[in-house]
Structures are given as structure tokens and as C-alpha cells.
Chain A
Amino acid sequence: MKLLTHNMLTSHVKGVTKGYPLLIKATEVKVNEVEFNPKFVCRMIPKLEWSTLVQAADQLGHREELPGELVPDYEKNGDFLKKVHRVLLEVEVIEGCLQCPESGREFPISKGIPNMLLNEDEA
């Protein structure tokens, strides 16, 4: 699971109103090289929940100086964009789980695939 995906995932357990963001508990993390595309990163940043991304990267020990808040003119900062690229697309959680911040329900991640299926009573 990449952190870009994590940025969009939310807990949908019945009754939960604050299911985002999910907490990451990783037991295996990999870094996989993905071709860098600055245009992609630039345009993606406004679509993200920035604090969630930073928090998640932190939880995985891959924060690497990402600022807590977006700096102005980040579009022109190549180094910054590269760091964001890495955290969005290259860092992957292979094993672990995602935890709903409200209900505590854990969704397992196995072979990089988060299993978000709910039981009948949770849906």
C-alpha cells in the first residue's frame, strides 16, 4: 500500500463519523523505485490531505524532513517535489494493519493489499 492510497482511505465502519485518517501500524515496509514526474507531484499535492501524508510518513519512519505545512512556491522546488514523490509513491507498506481512529477496528495489510472488507455487523 502506498501512502497516496492511504491518503484516500477511510474507515467506513457503521456509526463511525471520524474514520479518517487511518493509523498505520507497519511490520514490513519496502521502498520501490518509481519514475519521477514533477508534473504529477505538483498537481497531486493540492488534492492531498497534507498533514495526513506527513503523519503517515512519520509513522513509517520515512518522514525525511517533510514540513508539517506546505511551503509557498513548492512547485519550483525540485528537491521538495522529489521528497514528496518518494513518500507518495515509493514507500510501500507490505505487512501490517490500518486502524480506525474512532472504533479501533484493525484492517489487515498483507502482501501490500489492505483488506477493508467489513463483517456483516459492521456494515
Chain B
Amino acid sequence: MSSDPSLLRMSSQGDDVAEQSSNTVEAPTSSSSTETDPTSGTTVTIGATVPTGFEHTAAEEVKEKIGVDAQISKDRGRIYFPITTDKLSQVHLLRSVDNLFVVVAEYDHYQFKESKEETLSELQELASKLPWTNALEVWRLNRTLKKKKGHRKVGNTTKAKSNAEASDVAAAPEAVQHELPEETSAADGDAKAERTPDLETCQQDLDENAPGAKLIKFRVTCNRAGDKHSFSSNEAARDFGGAVQELFQWKADMTKFDIEVLLNIHNKEVVIGIALTEESLHRRNISHFGPTTLRSTLCYGMLRLCKPQASDIILDPMCGTGAIPLEGAIEFSESFYIAGDNNDMAVNRTVNNICHIQKRRADRGSPSGLPIDTVQWDLSNLPIRTSSVDIIITDMPFGKRMGSRKKNWDLYPSCLREMARVCRPDSGKAVLLTQDKKCFAKAISRMGGLWRKLHTVWVNVGGLHAGVYLLKRTTAVFGQTPEDVHESRGRGDSQMKEKDDKEVS
């Protein structure tokens, strides 16, 4: 973690970071402090997992909505920020965050012992030395917040996700952000998001005031990344868990637990935390899934990238289940969204998802209508007036989960052309997500007259490495640049097109 002393050094164990001592357990670099302000509550450090590549976007959102600076972890996909406990409910409203936890202690440069035995033994000792109090207080507060909200049971989130992913997707579950070879000790071998939503319905009623009164169940989840460790995440979780159990007399339960203790080890960075979310927040808007539904946090990140302005007309020409425009209509509601797809099921699912959200809003007594519409269309021939769209934002077919590589070869150039036509010259923008980077690079290289690449964010989608490309529309009017004149001449006549291609390249 980058060391900005003013932000995270709220150590309650004294200020010295005793890294060299070999006998005593080292003091944490930082931990949730013991300062308590009677009005705003205790100050703690919150950790949040976010889609890899969008850490800065998430930090921006935290600054904007919570008013504090976030630190971006070296361990990608995580950010940390301090809050006073009165802000906890606001933290749950952040749109770029997948999962939340409260930091018990954090070590920047943990000195692991040489042998496995010594290391694990030290981890066990560590458990009893940690400043648990404040983190546990936050955990308790968090539970009361959830109960008040009447925690909505989105029973189909994670289950549908596991069913919906096509079988040829890489095994790495989506919630796992790390790029280094790593393992998770979660009992089923899956990351947090795969835990069944049934868990919510089985939640034991706890007496919040006296956690010791009723038996608390817990588990330890260890995420370990790095190649110099002498131990596995399973071993660490097991031993650390054993010590925690002895310390608090909680009962260990891998599936029906009240408290999830997190042990995150990334090379020399060790973070111990307590989970504040049970299931990933990332599929919050979608009740009707499709095979490639994008998680809302990723949608939010993409939307933030293009900075929607009031009255911007925003098109998603390959909307699938409508995840991106729907997130936009909710979170950047001063713009207008048109979601389109050629597929029957996709447009129906989109409309169902929109209705679902509208009904939820109506139930709460707010005006339910959203600034979004759905159309069934063919992307390569959009029924939209030229130069009338401000932003195009979409998840392009990857070729692995939908479509095929060969199809992309033809699809991508014609997409980019048609998108350039409807997009307003000069001010128009596009934010395009794709895993087929090679095909995209080739397609965009031939579109220099119409599109300019501004920025690329590398992300991880369902275990696949993908790029989010931010493009700016050039000032050139469509129909006059060499690219689109060439291509339109060639359309429908493949031999002529091949000849043109040879000339152009």
C-alpha cells in the first residue's frame, strides 16, 4: 500500500513499525484507530474490492461521495479509505464497489519467517495481538444497518451467474481480481461471490448487544498471492482460524457463518479484515440474466470513464440484458439512454430488467420512470439519424462467450463505422469493452479518420483479460473520410473489398 502517513497511520499499538524484531510479533503499519468522536463515531479503515483496472474510478467516487482520499492497494482490485462510522450506510451506496470489509490491521512489509512452521506459528500468535475491538464494533453496526434495510433477497444473483457463464470461460470466478498466481482457501475453492444466496435466508438472529451471549459462527477466508510464501492459503486460514477461535470462543463454520474474517496476503502486504458484505454487490440491477451479463460495478466504471453530461444521448447498440444503460439511467440520470440489440431474448430481458427497477422505485413511492428506451435493431445498419448521438457505450462480443473470432473480424469494422456515423463529430465519444484486442486494434487502426483512441483501461471480465477503450470522435463528417468511402464502395461486393483492403494496407 502506498505510504501516505497522514491517512492510514492510525495505529493503536504505538508508532513504531517494528519490522526487525524476531521475537515479538511486529506492530501493524496501521489499523482502525481507537479515536472516537461522540458525534461521528469511531474512525476505521474500510477496504473495498473493485473491478481491476477501475481502482482510480472507484477512488474518485469515494472522494466525491464520502469526501475522503482512497489509497489504491498494490494488490490490484482493492482500495482503502478511512471513514467515521456514521458514514457506513453511505459506503454501502457506492456504485463502483463489489465487496466491502473493515480493516482490523494492515502490514506493509510483513516479514515472513523462513520455515512454514515458524510462519504459521507466528500467524497464530498474531491473532491475539490484533486490535479487534473497533472492527468488531463496525461489524455489529453493519448488521443492524442490514436488518433495517430489510435486506433485499436477490436470490438469483450468484446462482444465475454460475449457471449463466458459458462452459468455455476460464475457470477463474469473476470476483477474483488477482493477476498473480494465487489461491483462495474458500471451502469450495470458489471466491466469495460464489457463496450461495441461500445463506441470507438462513442468517441466524443474533443478539447484537451481547455477541458472546449467543454462539457466533465464523470462518476465515485467506487470499494469498505471491511466489515466496512457504505456506498455502488453506494452511494460513486453518491456523489463523484456530487462533481466532481460541481467542473469541466462536464456532468455526465454513458455510453458515456470522463473521467472515479475511486474511489477505499479497507478497509482503498482509491485511486482516472483517467482511461487511455477504454477497457481491455487483449484480444489483439485474434480475433477468443473460449469458454474458456484465456486473454493475464494471458498468459503472465504464460510464464514469465517459463522464455523461446532462442531456447526453447515450447509445448501447449491443445491450444484451441492458446492464450498462440501466446502470446509467439510475446513476447518471441526467442523460438519456437507448438500449438496442438484434436478439429477441436480449431486448425482452432488457425491458424486464428496466421494469423490475421501475417497480422497485414505485414501491418506494418515487417517480418510477427511467430515462431509458429499448429498440430492436441491427447494429451494422442503425435506424438512427446521422450525428445525433453523444456517447456510445457497449460490451462488444468477445468471441469466446458470444459470437466467434471469425465473426468479429467482419463485425468490428462495420460496428465502428456505423457507430461513427451516428455519433456527433468532434464532441462524440465511445467507450467500448472487448476481449478481442487484436481484432479491435486492427479495426481501429483503419478508422483513424473517424475515431481517435484517448485511453485504455485493462480489466478482468470473468477471468478473461479485456480492454475498455475510450475513443473520441474526430471532427470529420461521415461519408467523407477515405475509410468510409472505401468501405461503402466495397459493401456487398467482397472481391472489391479485398482489393480495397490490399490498397489501404
A10 x B378 contact (CB < 8 A): no
Within 8 A of B (CB), among A77-123: 89-90, 107, 111-118, 123
Within 8 A of B (CB), among A6-47: 8-12, 20, 32-35, 37, 39-40, 42-44, 47
Q: Once the chains are docked, how many angstroms separate the CA of A5 from the CA of B337?
A: 9
What 10 pairs across the A-B complex have the smallest Cβ distances?
A34-B369, A43-B311, A116-B383, A5-B373, A33-B367, A32-B369, A115-B376, A44-B311, A116-B377, A35-B367
Interface of A is mostly: mixed
Given known A-B contacts A10-B383, A40-B310, A35 and B388 have beta carbons under 8 A apart: no
| Shortest Cβ distance from residue B302 to the other chain A in the assembled complex, whole angstroms | 21
A32 x B368 contact (CB < 8 A): yes
Interface contact tally, CB-CB below 8 A: 91
| Shortest Cβ distance from residue B481 to the other chain A in the assembled complex, whole angstroms | 21
Q: Which among A2, A42, A89, A116 has the highest number of chain B CB atoms within 10 Å? A: A116
Given known A-B contacts A44-B336, A113-B376, A114-B376, A123 and B313 have beta carbons under 8 A apart: no
B310: which of A39, A89, A115, A116 is its contact (CB, 8 Å)?
Answer: A39
Given known A-B contacts A12-B382, A123-B378, A34 and B370 have beta carbons under 8 A apart: yes
The answer to the question of A56 belonging to the interface, with a C-beta cut-off of 8 Å to chain B, is no
A/B interface sample: 26 pairs, CB < 8 A: A1-B373, A1-B375, A4-B373, A5-B375, A8-B338, A9-B383, A20-B385, A32-B369, A34-B371, A35-B369, A37-B310, A39-B310, A39-B311, A39-B334, A40-B336, A43-B311, A44-B336, A47-B311, A89-B371, A111-B348, A112-B351, A113-B348, A113-B351, A113-B376, A117-B378, A123-B378
Residues of chain A contacted by B474 (CB below 8 angstroms) = none
B313 x A11 contact (CB < 8 A): no
Residues of chain B contacted by A33 (CB below 8 angstroms) = 367-369
Identity of the chain A residue whose Cβ is nearest the Cβ of B350 in the assembled complex:
A113
Q: Which among B333, B375, B382 has the highest number of chain A CB atoms within 10 Å? A: B375
| Shortest Cβ distance from residue A18 to the other chain B in the assembled complex, whole angstroms | 12
The count of chain A contact residues (Cβ–Cβ below 8 Å) is 33
Identity of the chain B residue whose Cβ is nearest the Cβ of A21 in the assembled complex:
B385
| Shortest Cβ distance from residue B390 to the other chain A in the assembled complex, whole angstroms | 9
Identity of the chain A residue whose Cβ is nearest the Cβ of B342 in the assembled complex:
A117
Known: A5-B338, A35-B333, A37-B310. 10 other contacts (CB 8 A): A4-B336, A8-B388, A12-B383, A32-B358, A34-B371, A39-B311, A39-B334, A47-B313, A89-B371, A117-B378
Cβ contacts B332-367/A at 8 Å (1 or 0 each): 011010100010000110010000001000000011
| Shortest Cβ distance from residue B24 to the other chain A in the assembled complex, whole angstroms | 59
Residues of chain B contacted by A43 (CB below 8 angstroms) = 310-311
A118 x B378 contact (CB < 8 A): yes
The answer to the question of B85 belonging to the interface, with a C-beta cut-off of 8 Å to chain A, is no
Q: Once the chains are docked, how many angstroms separate the CA of A89 from the CA of B334?
A: 12
Residues of chain B contacted by A9 (CB below 8 angstroms) = 375, 383-385
The answer to the question of B31 belonging to the interface, with a C-beta cut-off of 8 Å to chain A, is no
| Shortest Cβ distance from residue A42 to the other chain B in the assembled complex, whole angstroms | 8
Cβ contacts B259-282/A at 8 Å (1 or 0 each): 000000000000000000000000
Given known A-B contacts A5-B373, A12-B383, A113-B376, A40 and B347 have beta carbons under 8 A apart: no
A116 x B375 contact (CB < 8 A): yes
B310 x A112 contact (CB < 8 A): no
Identity of the chain B residue whose Cβ is nearest the Cβ of A5 in the assembled complex:
B373
Q: Once the chains are docked, how many angstroms separate the CA of A99 from the CA of B61?
A: 44
Identity of the chain B residue whose Cβ is nearest the Cβ of A2 in the assembled complex:
B373
B367 x A118 contact (CB < 8 A): no
Identity of the chain A residue whose Cβ is nearest the Cβ of B344 in the assembled complex:
A115
| Shortest Cβ distance from residue A44 to the other chain B in the assembled complex, whole angstroms | 4
Residues of chain B contacted by A20 (CB below 8 angstroms) = 385
B310 x A90 contact (CB < 8 A): no
Residues of chain B contacted by A107 (CB below 8 angstroms) = 383
Residues of chain A contacted by B336 (CB below 8 angstroms) = 4, 40, 44, 89
Residues of chain B contacted by A37 (CB below 8 angstroms) = 310, 333-334
Residues of chain A contacted by B338 (CB below 8 angstroms) = 5, 8
Residues of chain A contacted by B384 (CB below 8 angstroms) = 8-10
Residues of chain B contacted by A39 (CB below 8 angstroms) = 310-311, 334
Residues of chain A contacted by B371 (CB below 8 angstroms) = 34, 40, 89
Identity of the chain B residue whose Cβ is nearest the Cβ of A46 in the assembled complex:
B311
Residues of chain A contacted by B11 (CB below 8 angstroms) = none
Q: Once the chains are docked, how many angstroms separate the CA of A66 from the CA of B272?
A: 62
Q: Once the chains are docked, how many angstroms separate the CA of A116 from the CA of B370?
A: 22
A40 x B311 contact (CB < 8 A): yes
A47 x B367 contact (CB < 8 A): no
Q: Once the chains are docked, how many angstroms separate the CA of A89 from the CA of B368?
A: 12
Residues of chain B contacted by A47 (CB below 8 angstroms) = 311, 313, 388
B313 x A8 contact (CB < 8 A): yes
Q: Once the chains are docked, how many angstroms separate the CA of A11 from the CA of B381?
A: 10
The answer to the question of B374 belonging to the interface, with a C-beta cut-off of 8 Å to chain A, is yes
Within 8 A of A (CB), among B44-90: none
